[in-house]
Amino acid sequence: MSHKRIPKRRAAMAAGGVVALGAAAILLPNANASQDGGSSDDAAAAPRTLKAADASDLAARLAGLLGDTFAGSYYDSGAQQLVVNVVPGDNNQVVVQAEKAGAEVREVDNSMGELRSGAQTLKAEASIPGTSWAIDPRTNKILVTADSTVTGDRWDRLESTVDGLGSGMATVRKSAGTFKTFASGGDAIFGGGARCSLGFNVTAGDGSPAFLTAGHCGVAADQWSDAQGGQPIATVDQAVFPGEGDFALVRYDDPATQAPSEVNLGDQTLPISGAAEAAVGQEVFRMGSTTGLADGQVLGLDATVNYPEGTVTGLIQTDVCAEPGDSGGSLFTQDGLAIGLTSGGSGDCTVGGETFFQPVTTALEAVGATLGGEDGGAGAGDAGDGGAGAGDAGDGGAGAGDAGDGGAGAGDAGDGGAGAGDAGDGGAGAGDAGDGAAVGGGDGSGLTG
């Protein structure tokens, strides 16, 4: 695969400027196809057709309305409808209100409190490297995943903990691969022998241009270049990994850097108007410097992943594929909303697998930055007053960072941080990136450097 070099003063490639592997053609058409359906009082109780970002916003509002009755929600992408879970009880009035708001209401057995309690039990008793869990509102259970390293006593411990949660509370599935963060040596953005992908250009709190990438990339090296062996163009300002997230804010060294809010798909660019919360069932796209463009669905929110380097919480779980070097790359919607930053997972883009993403909204809040239509975007490229690809991408992008704070089926999966970062100095079996293989643990099971 050929890779394009990121121009030094423009460094605008939200995913390293690679060829889009033929997927771009499915991304942009029909970007605004789903519309709000029906407005008459007679149709008020019928589920409405919604865009995924609007469904996420509605889910957050209904979570507050329903209170303890709320048991998660998800987006039915086929029907373009929000499905809200409720537990049985004296809740007829609020259920009717939820239906009038346009959601499909479904009765389930497990309350959100019970599911969150189960996730806390997993955290306390089964924080085993190679495992993950997230609340799956479609099954109304906790989805527990174990990679190929979880065997013997560790498998028995996990299975016993899940059984102890009670019947109908959780399901366990095995993954053929191993959970690892997706940094590697090669192309895109480079630091200390590691290769990652740029996620989204943002404006730092002081108005200077910067970008978001994965936190495990940010702790791998302080300075990053747009060419292997090239001069640094950006310096890490903040980085979180492991612990409560996997994100880093990296400031461009040149304050005049042109950093428009867009994702480079190789043969075209997609303007990014703002950030939005993910919704379970939502279709999403990922861009990365190794594998280009890939798509899939959101499977779970507030996921906990036990990497070899430590536990990371608050992630988005998807079935979108990724490979080493894609770390930090952008997860977004077809209509230009930033959703996540590639963290890690298992498998590859040949056999598939699970991939986890840092929510962009959480990262922006933590580092005090803004993106796209939220505040104009650094170095907006002077595209006049609304030109396509302008850093501003409009002045109020749909769903720009205000899609609520709960999202569909968000499980309080704990706040992790155990086993924080055995950085080593190159990790045996750590690929060919020499002695700078970032955070990869000593046995090569972490970063593949």
Alpha-carbon distances of 195 from 13, 147, 184, 422, rounded to whole Å: 15, 24, 5, 19
What's the pTM?
0.72
pLDDT in tens, 160-203: 999 999 999 999 999 888 998 865 433 379 998 889 999 999 99
The Cα–Cα gap between 207 and 370 comes to 9
**CA-based torsion, 108, 114, 116, 122: positive or negative:** negative
Report, as an integer, the average pLDDT of 327-345: 95
Find the helix or strand (DSSP H, E) in which 264 lies.
Answer: strand 262-264
Of 12, 74, 21, 2, the residue nearest 286 (C-alpha): 21
SS3 of 214, please?
coil
Assess whether the previous peptide bond of 7 is cis (omega < 30° from 0).
no
Q: So what's the pLDDT on residue 392?
A: 37
Distance CA 438, CA 307 (A): 14
Nearest to 79 by CA among 43, 101, 49, 123: 49
Give the pLDDT confidence score for residue 229 in this predicted structure: 86
Is residue 315 over pLDDT 70? yes
Q: By the 8 A CB rule, do 357 and 378 touch?
A: no
Average pLDDT score over residue span 321-344: 95
**By C-alpha distance, which of 246, 316, 263 is closest to 56?**
316
Per-residue pLDDT at 177: 86
Distance between CA atoms of residues 112 and 114, nearest Å = 5
Query: Average pLDDT for residues 67-85, to the nearest whole number?
Result: 93
DSSP structure class, residue 448: -
Cα separation values, 291 from 3, 225, 422, 439, Å: 11, 20, 28, 22
Give the other-Cβ count within 10 Å of 174's Cβ: 11
Is residue 403 over pLDDT 90?
no
Ranges 5-9, 332-336, 392-396, 421-425, most confident: 332-336
Q: Which residues are catalytic?
A: 216, 246, 327
Q: What is the DSSP letter of 195?
A: E
Q: What are the structure tokens assigned to 375, written together?
A: 């505040």
The pLDDT of 212-229, averaged and rounded, is 93
